[in-house]
A and B are shown apart, each in its own frame.
Chain A
Amino acid sequence: MLKIECPFCGNRNETEFSCGGEAHIARPLAENKITDLAFSEYLFMRDNPKGVFLERWCHTSGCRRWFNMARDTVSHEIIEIYAMGQKPKTAIGKKAFLSNWRRKSKAETASTPIKRTAK
């Protein structure tokens, strides 16, 4: 049983939480400009590392709020818990974030907001 430190409620049992899978997957904003193959990277392809994994969790049976977690998938050690919209702060977490193939994927490149020119 994992003991998870909810950033809002404190230390609780794993049974109160649900796991939302890989974190930091940005929806391609310019989806009409990318191929089906590139869109499938966003929709279906998942990082599945043996080691440090960045994932989203929700305190479903508690405050029902979401947060991010860096966790080792072999030892189950929770390395870091950080807020939604944030990036990991620990060295291990940062490395996992930057080394993820998704950072260079077409889907992610197409997720940067389109610059609109002022009228």
Chain B
Amino acid sequence: MAKTHLDRGTGGLTQKSKRYSIFSLARNAASYHQNWQQAWRHAEPKPAYDAVIIGGGGHGLATAYYLASVHGITNIALIEKGWLGGGNTGRNTTIIRSNYMWDESAGIYEHALKLWEGLSQDLNFNVMFSQRGVLTIIHSEHELKEMSRRVHAIRLNGIDSEILSPTEIKKMVPTINIDPNIRYPVMGGFIQKRGGTARHDAVAWGYARAADDLGVDIIQNCEVTGLRRTGKQITGIETTKGFIKTQKVGCVVAGHSSVLADMANIRLPIASRPLQALVSEPIKPILDTVIMSNAVHMYLSQSDKGEMVLGAGVDKYNSYAQSGSWPIPEHMIAAAVELFPFLSRLRMLRHWGGIVDTCPDASPIISKTDINGLYFNCGWGTGGFKSTPGSGHVFADLIANDRPNSIALPYSLKRFETGYLIDEHGAAGVAH
């Protein structure tokens, strides 16, 4: 596993008067919460910046924050087509874990998990990171054998992972059905206790507020319409709010990566697919961990509001419509109801799809391109949320130094030429 020094940046909010604390809460309670300061400015684009980040999701905001806080590059803009965190950041099931098998994956996902631990303090914003454990359940003999290989590989990389028997799982999750005669019987499982969930909106808002505090201009409702270049050097971006001059552009737009790449005449191995999720009406606390099943393509957790959050698999054909195909959640719900019979009595309140950028090897692309000053961070597919801090951290490093660090190096676009793929379909493919 790659080891690099973890520089968490300046941390917190530099403007002490704006920090959130028990005292600011008490002070604002006295004025009936009417005088809270704005979390970030409504910036209009300046004519030129040192760097521009396209995409105001978690990854883009984290990139902007770490560029400013770790690398001291503060004359930067973040351009977002809609509103902050309105894409996949607001559409995922918020699961965080780092139990991946390959060394390269362990490098980036564990880097992210270490940043998650302490992120609320770094940002002076409660991202509600809850290390409630991520329990993956196993349904077949083959999966059981594959699991022990995987768990041992994960542990060799210094990442916590424990094998559980069906009775131990039943003890931990009393609502689960461990009858051996169901369609997907529980034959065992493994848990990463340091894994868990976080509040997705808070992650976007926390990074936005901290980045803004360091001087980053956050520009919403501004769509990129073209990339301008002179020869092999990027010179700026065309947007709906006019031309912005810059020598460095970082693209972090997930499902729309191919659309941006087309503007620069660059090829990506990305297929954009919908990934669906749904939430139930809120109920009393019943599940205090995260359940995942790769065979069913299901994830299940309970939000702090009490809603049961269910995630399904990825659709089988390309789409940019943020809805998804019905048979996918239908299959997942059928298996989920059998595993957790109490779910059958719940009414589902919301259902949605997010457009994920899937890569042939189910691993991300964090890379320079043939055009100087143009960088891409994409291909996170179904597993983007968990890596938000790590992705932003290494991408900021790549943009600032114009060379990948040891964590980002394996994720170059070059791997599709050399054949050095990081095949994580086993970890996941779907239940990433």
Contacts and interface: CB of A to CB of B under 8 A. Distances in A.
A114 interface: no
B417 A36 contact: yes
Nearest to B326: A1
B267 A41 contact: yes
B321 A75 contact: yes
Nearest to B322: A74
Interface stretch (B1-9, B221-229, B312-320): B312-320
Contacts of A43: 416
Nearest to A36: B417
Contact of A14 (B272, B327, B419): B327
Max chain B C-beta neighbours (<10 A), residue from A2, A48, A49, A76: A48
Contact of B416 (A15, A44, A53, A76): A44
B360 A76 contact: no
Contacts of B169: none
A96 to B, nearest CB: 13
A73 B320 contact: yes
B54 interface: no
Interface in A59-89: 71, 73-76
B333 to A, nearest CB: 15
Interface in B238-278: 256, 258-259, 262, 265, 267-272
A76 B416 CA distance: 30
Chain B interface SS verdict (over half): loop
A16 B317 CA distance: 13
Given A73-B319, A73-B321, A75-B321, 19 more contacts: A1-B325, A2-B325, A18-B316, A19-B318, A21-B271, A36-B418, A40-B416, A44-B269, A44-B416, A45-B416, A46-B268, A49-B258, A50-B256, A53-B318, A73-B272, A73-B320, A74-B321, A76-B321, A101-B262
B418 A45 contact: no
Contacts of B320: 50, 73-74
A101 B266 CA distance: 10
A119 to B, nearest CB: 38
Contacts of B416: 40, 43-45
Interface string A1-27: 110000000000011001101000000
Given A50-B256, A73-B318, A45 B268 contact: yes
Interface of A: 1-2, 14-15, 18-19, 21, 36-37, 40-41, 43-46, 48-50, 53, 55, 71, 73-76, 101
In the complex, the 10 A-B pairs of residues with the closest C-beta atoms, listed nearest first: A48-B258, A45-B267, A19-B317, A44-B269, A44-B416, A50-B320, A40-B416, A40-B417, A15-B327, A37-B417
Contacts of B418: 36
A15 B326 CA distance: 10
A48 B271 contact: yes
15 contacts: A2-B325, A19-B316, A21-B318, A43-B416, A44-B269, A44-B360, A44-B416, A45-B267, A45-B269, A46-B271, A48-B270, A55-B317, A74-B320, A101-B262, A101-B267
Contacts of A75: 321
Nearest to B259: A50
Contact of B272 (A2, A15, A48, A76): A48
B269 A46 contact: yes
Contacts of B417: 36-37, 40
Nearest to B256: A50
A55 B269 contact: no
Contact of B325 (A14, A37, A53): A14
A18 B317 CA distance: 8
Contact of A48 (B268, B321, B325, B360): B268
Contacts of A45: 267-269, 416
A15 B329 CA distance: 13
Contacts of A44: 269, 360, 416
Contacts of B327: 1, 14-15
Contacts of B259: 50
B224 to A, nearest CB: 14
Contacts of A14: 325, 327
Contacts of A37: 417
Contacts of B270: 46, 48
A64 B371 CA distance: 44
Contacts of A46: 268-271
A18 B272 CA distance: 16
Nearest to A53: B318
Contacts of A36: 417-419
A49 B260 CA distance: 11
A48 to B, nearest CB: 4
A44 B360 CA distance: 7
A76 to B, nearest CB: 6
A26 B202 CA distance: 47
Nearest to B361: A44
Contacts of B316: 18-19
Nearest to A1: B326
Nearest to A50: B320
